Amino acid sequence: MTKFSGNRGEWSEPYVLLKLLVDGQLTLGDSKLNKIKDLILPIVSILREEQNQKFSYSDNKQKVVIELAGRNVFQIAVAEFKERAEFLLARIKIGSGEEKTGSFSIPEIEDFLCQIGCTKLSEKSQSKSDIHIVVHDVRTGLCPLLGFSIKSELGSKATLFNASQATNFTFEIPDWDNKFTELVNSIDNKKKVQKRIAKIRELGFDLKFSHVDDSKFRNNLMLIDSQMPEILVEMINNYYSGKDASVSELTRIVCAINPNKYDKQHEHQFYSYKIKRFLNDAALGMTAKKVWQGRYDATGGYLVVKKDGEIVCYHIYSKNEFEDYLFFNTKFDTPSTSRHDFAYIYEEGGKFFFKLNFQIKI
């Protein structure tokens, strides 16, 4: 009986562990996932909460020293980790065929994973950190313990910002004629949200932003920037109007519209700066349902598994590269309308409303 089963993204987590132990360092990347030469962080050790695992190196760097809670310390050659990592990468690429989201097992790697203390593919945690690494910061001489979130290009696109009913934005439809409600709400196809909005406008009406449904989420946004709700509303509107899905292009469109009437005579990049802050906070700790106080869970940043199996690090010490990576590689996406209860016309207090929601993929 197989012990492990997961999709390509989930299998990427043990792959990252094995690969990093082989590389012995984190290499920082630019906005296009290219490694930046000479910008590296040597790895001192890797920690996983599961069974209090600790992986470090022998004096000659040829062996990995493994410490498991309640067991003796033992060593395994780095060469074996290299062999296992290469095998695992090849099997992840094969996966369950062309389908990137399906679960599959890799029986040949199970005994080795169990030997090094892995009993599950991914760490389930309330934080956004998937792996914790002690690095040697050559700039400061310190060896901080940093938490990293793992994103993989080997599987389907990961979600940077998750949707929920808390992320609903409510819009009023002024002067709406109720005789058209059933006509709009009956539109049901793959692009039903866009088509329902288009029908509302075709009938001569429009959506007027009312409020963010959840007060915690609203305040989280306002903590980032007092006008962040209005900026996101404009991006959501343009996304569902079919203008674009990429965050960078939607930001460009909103900048041209300038809904907040910023003074642009000196070419300040108001909107891109604020959206980068939102993406950065969403990546490193901010969620819709919890009060956000600006403290990061993923204190290191992101580890991205590229399609060729190489791992690129985005570290908060290199804030500009990290924010550019997020800005140029994320897209708006439509979440489930039934699960999150949005995209239909309803009446309340004699007025008519329509909710919109969003998620961001990377």
Q: Round to whole Å and give the CA distance between 105 and 18.
A: 17
Q: Which two tokens stand for residue 309?
A: 């199996």
Q: Which pLDDT value is given to residue 126?
A: 58
Tokens 């989280």 -> residue: 220
Contact 148, 129 (CB under 8 A): yes
The contacts of residue 267 (CB under 8 Å, 6+ apart) are: none
Tokens 């409600």 -> residue: 181
How far is C-alpha 265 from the chain's CA centre?
34
Identify which of 182, 169, 175, 188 has the alpha carbon closest to the alpha carbon of residue 237: 169
**362 residues of the chain, pLDDT tens digit each:** 668 999 999 999 999 999 999 999 999 999 999 999 888 999 999 998 777 899 999 999 999 999 998 677 999 999 999 999 999 999 999 986 666 678 999 999 999 999 999 988 876 555 678 899 999 988 788 999 998 999 999 988 899 999 999 999 999 999 999 999 999 999 998 899 999 999 999 999 999 999 999 999 999 999 999 999 999 999 999 999 999 999 999 999 999 999 999 999 999 999 999 999 999 999 988 999 999 998 887 677 899 999 999 999 998 778 899 999 999 999 999 999 999 999 999 999 999 999 999 999 99
Q: Which two tokens stand for residue 190?
A: 């793959």
Task: Give the DSSP letter string of 217-241.
Answer: HHHHHHHH-TTHHHHHHHHHHHHHT
Q: Which pLDDT value is given to residue 100?
A: 65
Contact 312, 301 (CB under 8 A): no
Q: Round to whole Å and give the CA distance between 55 and 114.
A: 14
Q: Helix (H, G, I), strand (E, B), or coil: what is residue 128?
A: coil
Rg (CA), the chain: 23
Q: Which pLDDT value is given to residue 252?
A: 98
Identify which of 253, 233, 362, 266 has the alpha carbon closest to the alpha carbon of residue 305: 362
Query: Containing H/E element for 66?
Result: strand 63-67
